[in-house]
Structure 1
Amino acid sequence: MKTPLSRNNDLEAGSTPLLYPSMTENPERRWAFIRKVYAILAFQLLLTIPVAATAFLNPGIAVFLVETWLGWFLKHTIIITSVSGKVVLEAAILTVAIFLSLTLYTFWAARRGHDFNFLGPFLFASLLTLVVFGVIQIFLPLGKISHMIYGIVGILVFCGYIVYDTDELIKRYQYDEYILAAIDLYLDLLNLFLKILEVMKDAESSDDA
């Protein structure tokens, strides 16, 4: 027989929906963790956008960033300054649309019991291949078409990482790993944007040719 206290606990547990069927932790704590991660991600983007915009409007700043130790983190500004503002805007809109769509899909799929943890080894192998292939390009540059295909493959890989890391955010990250989770999603989003930008830049140059 349930006591009034146990009935209250049941009502409290049921007030917040489960994120996935086999969830055993407190949904409210997980939702609080998720909100914290996305708040940090939004803050990271708010810092990145003005830096990228400044570099786009002042190419000399982008060159300075690359030539200093800051270039390791901000080297993508050179890519941004080498394309038109229209292409940058289109790539940004497309990136946001893809990120939001994949995020909503992952939450929807998790709610129905789907698990994407199996993607981890495949995504890591794909990313390693992209990195090695990118190093090879330094010595043996690809043609425009081949480089575009390389960019499309990169887009697919980072789309996979968005799904994988969002699934990890929902199910596996510890509550004290909110900074790590936010950084993972930020890198997924940033790399997706860069790959889309590279493909659109190649397409634009092919049209001009």
Structure 2
Amino acid sequence: MSAAPPPPSYEQATAGEAQFPTSPPPVNDTYNTQYNTQYGSDFGPGYPHQNDPAYPPPTAFVPPPTTDYNPDPDPAPSRPMNADEAESAVESGGFESSSSFSDKTVRRMFIRKVYLILMVQLLCTMGFIALFVLNEDVKMFVWRNSWIYWMSYALFIVFFIFLVCCEKIRRSYPTNVIMLALFTLCLSYMAGTISSTYDTKSVLIAFGICAGVCLGVTIFSIQTKFDFTTCGSVLFMCSLALFLFGFICIFTYNNILQTVYAGLGALLFSAFLAFDTQLIIGGKRYEISPEDYVFAALNLYIDMVYIFLFLLRLVGGSSNS
């Protein structure tokens, strides 16, 4: 077997003395077989320099590791929730965790709908109050027919229980809107009846103070970093204490206790207004579901009307005497 000629040096190549082979030298087929078996080459016979130590055989090609995307990977094992996460995931009474309001557009539409309904409710209540306070004939009719007031009070409680406790009713249209309208008429009649026992000046003063308090509490609850939505249990205990204190005021007929009761009531429902406003605006620990716009408007409406009634009781003098 003849060996392949060595490569020319640089001087020979530049001087034109080197003559490169124009055809491959004869190759022993036995060597090609051994070479292909050892190195896995597939160059075939006639490959030049295959037996020359100056030209080592090529290494076998090793493909790189594949990094193809696996469309169905094994799911990661679920991590158990800690106590805080489990508590924040609880839903009750229309309240949900803050993750339910991930879409800001849905939240803005929800807020716009709630305050639009609230504006209609307040306009209706203001119309009833103005009619009962300024019209003497209507005022005399209310005083002579007290059974209408007690009937409206009973309907007020019935509609309130249905709207608060029955989730299907307050989320089904148009049943929720009809019941909310009837509830608004009942509470407006009650507010007008109570306002008719006070003079016009006291009603106007209470209305002005109520408007300022509601506006200030709403702006404060939106801007503050304090989370009022975590104070639901505290507000419930304060409501129970105020309810029991009201019974004491009924049987004592003490003017000082009546004034204290009215002041505490206005303060408590101002806190409820901040609580309900943060539930509607969102961004806190708990929020109201976007489907409960009737429930949200109901809460704000009750808070504002009761603030007005407590302030009227605080600053007004009865005109029955």
Q: Name structure 2 gaps, 5 residues minimum.
A: 1-97, 155-185
When residues 34 and 65 of structure 1 are mapped into structure 2, their CA distance, relative to the original with a 3 A threshold, is: farther
Tell me the equivalent position of 2:261: 150
Q: Which amino acid counterpart does residue 244 of structure 2 have in structure 1? A: V
Return the alpha-carbon distance in structure 1 between the equivalents of residues 145 and 280 of structure 2. 32
Return the alpha-carbon distance in structure 2 between the equivalents of residues 181 and 115 of structure 1. 18
Give the % identical residues: 29
Q: Does 1:60 align with 2:140?
A: yes
Tell me the equivalent position of 2:300: 185
Return the alpha-carbon distance in structure 2 between the equivalents of residues 188 and 28 of structure 1. 27
When residues 64 and 179 of structure 1 are mapped into structure 2, their CA distance, relative to the original with a 3 A threshold, is: farther
Return the alpha-carbon distance in structure 2 between the equivalents of residues 99 and 77 of structure 1. 19
After superposition, what is the alpha-carbon deviation per residue over 1:37-94, rounded to whole angstroms, capped at 9, x for unaligned? 0000001011111112222222134336641222443333332112111110111111
Q: Which amino acid counterpart does residue 141 of structure 1 have in structure 2? A: T
Report matched runs for 1:64-103 at 5 Å.
Answer: 66-68=146-148, 69-72=151-154, 73=186, 74-103=189-218
The structure that is helix-richer by fraction is 1
Q: Does 1:29 align with 2:109?
A: no
Q: 8 Å contact 2:125–2:192 — kept in the other structure?
A: no
Q: Name structure 1 gaps, 5 residues minimum.
A: 1-21
Tell me the equivalent position of 1:124: 236
TM-score (structure 1 length as normaliser)? 0.78
Q: Which has the larger radius of gyration?
A: 2
Q: 8 Å contact 1:62–1:77 — kept in the other structure?
A: no
- Taking CA–CA contacts closer than 8 Å with sequence separation of 6 or more, which of the two structures ends up with the larger relative contact order? 1
Tell me the equivalent position of 2:226: 114
Instruction: Give the root-mean-square deviation of aligned CA atoms.
Output: 2.0
Q: 8 Å contact 1:117–1:168 — kept in the other structure?
A: yes
Return the alpha-carbon distance in structure 1 between the equivalents of residues 267 and 111 of structure 2. 24
Tell me the equivalent position of 1:44: 121
Return the alpha-carbon distance in structure 2 between the equivalents of residues 182 and 162 of structure 1. 11
When residues 149 and 178 of structure 1 are mapped into structure 2, their CA distance, relative to the original with a 3 A threshold, is: same
Q: 8 Å contact 2:238–2:268 — kept in the other structure?
A: yes
Q: 8 Å contact 1:55–1:61 — kept in the other structure?
A: no
